[in-house]
Amino acid sequence: MTTFEKHYIGKGTQVANLDIAKVVLPVEGLEAATFEKEGIKYISFEIAKMKQPDKFDRTHTCYFQTKVTTQNAPNPEPEKQPKAKKSSKKIKPVEENEDDLPF
């Protein structure tokens, strides 16, 4: 099974009266988001509007994603499959890295 994991690398604010978001990213975060294709290096990241501004009035968050592949165990024959039990485990959501930068 393939899923994607988000890695938060920065935040930013919307520019007044424009559809532009200004973000600040650490170089280390950009290096982790770098990949190479046909001898050319690229940086891939996404900028998303947050539901509400954070304590520094930043309105957007920036992240890159990595592909996570897990192998599924083969399913037993349907007639031998045990009944599903409800799990008491809670799935922890991916949290944004909160930094103390004033911008």
Q: Which residues have C-beta within 8 Å of that of residue 89, sequence separation ≥ 6?
A: none
User: In the prediction, which pLDDT does 42 show?
Assistant: 93
Q: Which residues of 36-63 are buried (b: 16+ CB within 10 A; e: fewer)?
A: eeeeeeeeebeeeeeeeeeeeebbbbbb
Q: Is the pTM of this model over 0.85?
A: no
Q: What are the pLDDT tens digits along the chain (103 aa)? A: 899 999 999 999 999 999 999 998 888 778 888 999 999 999 989 999 999 999 999 999 999 998 888 887 666 555 554 444 444 444 444 444 554 444 4
> Quick one: which H or E segment has residue 29?
helix 27-32
